[in-house]
């Protein structure tokens, strides 16, 4: 069988290969799945997933014109972020890195100290991001931090996205000090006060990730199998969300995974709260590294109301304890599905609590007043659910509806918000596809969400 495009998603636990027919009648054809063989060689898991795809398509062999990929294997894209002032340049750099799909392991503001440099060395990041200073404003902190990091002689790409006035002297210094890594100079992520310039940095993070994707065993060989883009999986979900934003308007995507729960929102604040949201990015991703239904399920279980679960399902404490001890990420029985559903609900509630802003009561000289604090999602028109748990379990839309109803002090969407499921579970694949085939990816996204146009 000859196929147009395969997109591989190489995760921490599972590798998926999705097959697509391109052209006038673009279609999702099917998928293959395998365990990710990150401890041996991730190529094995990819080859096994392709073999599973061959079986599912009921063919004897497979040829394909193109293959793209996304990866979160071996912890995904590890980054450190250093800037000038936390509420300004550091925050802007952090937003850009998260939107690109990074897992941020260290953040610093101001001059890097010796212990900061030790932490960066110990983390062994995939990319080091340095920001600081508006354009033609303060420039010494960013330059000095670059010199300190360069002195570590790490074989790690350094991306500088601070005051553009530093570009020339950073480049000259870099060329003179026998560098061991690579340097990327990017437009300032915070060129002027209350303005975030995220897109150029996000693009360079994608490119740098693809160039240096060697952190999982065999990952460098994946590039030989892939003749298109490789990007961080969370970044690809954001790209898909951006495509949907063009069609559906202000949008929220919730992705519950085995290791993390990611929330992506693309929206502007309401006119009522706009003055409180200066400097807030239109596109925002938060990643909750402690909330997942497989790798981090024990942490999520610590939030489980055992008495309520026992009463709801009319079981004994012994049955519940056995269920918890023999926990299955892919549930089979109705009780196992009920447990994963409850853990998914916990992940969604806590992740949304952290992503969405609050309405706070304050007392002023003019009396009592209610003001927003944090991200305003009141203008969200559509919610998209993706990730294995939200897609495969039944009635997960009710989790979102219940959260919005109960969160009276949060800046949540209105009751008229529409909720969609990524039924074909292809959102991450279509985000990668969108970099080369934006219209085809949008068509397939509509199909997966069961949007009839």
Query: Same structural domain for residues 244 and 368?
Result: yes
Q: Which of 287-291, 378-382, 386-390 has the lowest mean pLDDT?
A: 287-291
Number of structural domains the chain divides into:
3
Query: Same structural domain for residues 404 and 267?
Result: yes
Average pLDDT, the chain: 89
Q: Which of the listed residues 197, 225, 253 is the one where a domain comes to its end?
A: 225
Does position 41 have pLDDT exceeding 90, yes or no?
no
Query: Same structural domain for residues 107 and 188?
Result: yes
Could you give the C-alpha distances from 86 to 190, 198, 255, 297, in angstroms and in order? Answer: 12, 16, 27, 32
Bridge partners of 14, per DSSP, are 35
Query: Same structural domain for residues 141 and 187?
Result: yes
Q: Where are the beta strands (DSSP E) in 11-113?
A: 14-21, 27-35, 63-71, 77-83, 102-109
Range of the domain at 64: 2-73+219-225
| Mean pLDDT in residue range 242-262 | 94
Q: Where are the beta strands (DSSP E) in 260-341?
A: 261-266, 283-288
Tokens of 342: 């409850």
Q: How far apart are CA 253 and CA 238, in angstroms?
A: 8
Query: Same structural domain for residues 268 and 377?
Result: yes
State residue 218's pLDDT score.
60
CATH number of the domain at 430, please. Answer: 3.30.420
CA atoms 303, 309, 315, 316: torsion sign = positive
CA 182: distance to chain centroid? 25
- Identify whether 320 is part of a domain: no
Q: Which of the listed residues 211, 245, 264 is the one where a domain comes to its end?
A: 211
- For 322-335, what is each residue's pLDDT tens digit? 999 999 878 999 99
Query: Same structural domain for residues 202 and 137?
Result: yes
Q: Which of 38-42, 80-84, 339-343, 387-391 has the lowest mean pLDDT?
A: 38-42
- For 48-105, what is each residue's pLDDT tens digit? 999 999 999 999 888 999 999 988 765 567 899 999 998 888 888 888 888 877 888 8
CATH number of the domain at 13, please. Answer: 3.30.420.40
Confidence of residue 133 (pLDDT cuts 50, 70, 90): very high
Query: Same structural domain for residues 200 and 264?
Result: no
pTM: 0.84
Does position 294 have pLDDT exceeding 60, yes or no?
yes
- Identify whether 136 is part of a domain: yes
Query: Same structural domain for residues 100 and 37?
Result: no
The DSSP element (H or E) to which 298 belongs, if any, is helix 297-301
- Identify whether 274 is part of a domain: yes
- Identify whether 254 is part of a domain: yes
- Identify whether 314 is part of a domain: no
Could you give the C-alpha distances from 297 to 233, 340, 352, in angstroms and in order? Answer: 20, 9, 18
| Mean pLDDT in residue range 357-376 | 79
- Identify whether 375 is part of a domain: yes
């Amino acid at each position: 069988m000859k196929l147009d495009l395969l997109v591989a998603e190489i995760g921490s636990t599972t590798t998926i290969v999705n097959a697509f027919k391109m052209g006038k009648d673009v279609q999702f054809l099917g998928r293959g799945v395998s365990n990710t063989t990150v401890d041996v060689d991730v190529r094995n898991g990819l080859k096994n997933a392709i073999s599973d795809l061959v079986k599912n398509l009921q063919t004897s062999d497979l040829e394909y014109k193109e293959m793209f990929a996304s990866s979160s294997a071996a912890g995904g894209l590890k980054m450190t972020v250093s800037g000038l002032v936390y509420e300004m340049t550091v925050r802007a750099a952090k937003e850009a890195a998260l939107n690109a799909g990074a897992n941020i392991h260290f953040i610093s503001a101001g001059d890097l100290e010796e212990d900061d440099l030790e932490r960066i060395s110990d983390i062994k990041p995939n990319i080091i991001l340095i920001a600081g200073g508006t354009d033609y404003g303060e420039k010494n902190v960013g330059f000095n931090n670059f010199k300190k990091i360069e002195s570590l002689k790490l074989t790690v790409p350094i991306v500088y996205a601070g005051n553009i006035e530093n570009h020339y002297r950073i480049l000259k210094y870099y060329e003179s000090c026998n560098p061991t890594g690579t340097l990327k100079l990017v437009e300032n992520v915070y060129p002027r006060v209350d303005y975030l310039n995220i897109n150029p940095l996000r693009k360079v993070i994608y490119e740098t990730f693809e160039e240096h994707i060697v952190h999982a065993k065999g990952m460098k060989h994946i590039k030989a199998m892939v003749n298109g883009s490789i990007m961080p999986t969370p970044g690809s979900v954001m790209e898909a969300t951006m495509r949907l934003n063009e069609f559906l308007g202000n949008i929220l995507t919730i992705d519950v995974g085995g290791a993390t729960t990611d929330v992506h929102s693309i929206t502007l604040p309401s006119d009522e709260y706009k003055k409180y949201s200066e400097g807030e990015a239109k596109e925002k991703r938060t990643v909750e590294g402690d909330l997942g239904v497989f790798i981090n399920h024990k942490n999520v279980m610590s939030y489980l109301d055992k008495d309520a679960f026992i009463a709801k399902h009319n079981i004994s404490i012994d049955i519940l304890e056995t269920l918890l001890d023999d926990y299955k990420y892919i549930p089979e029985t109705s009780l196992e599905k009920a447990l994963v559903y409850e853990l998914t609900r916990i992940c969604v509630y806590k992740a949304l609590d952290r992503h969405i802003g609050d309405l706070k009561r304050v007392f002023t000289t003019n009396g009592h007043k209610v003001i927003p604090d944090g991200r305003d999602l009141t203008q969200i028109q559509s919610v998209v659910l993706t990730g294995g748990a939200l897609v495969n379990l039944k009635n997960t839309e009710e989790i979102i509806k219940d959260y919005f109803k109960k969160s009276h002090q949060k800046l949540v969407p209105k009751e008229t918000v529409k909720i969609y499921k990524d039924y074909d579970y292809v959102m991450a694949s279509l985000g990668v596809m969108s970099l080369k085939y934006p219209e085809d990816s949008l068509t397939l996204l509509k199909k997966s969400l069961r949007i009839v146009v």
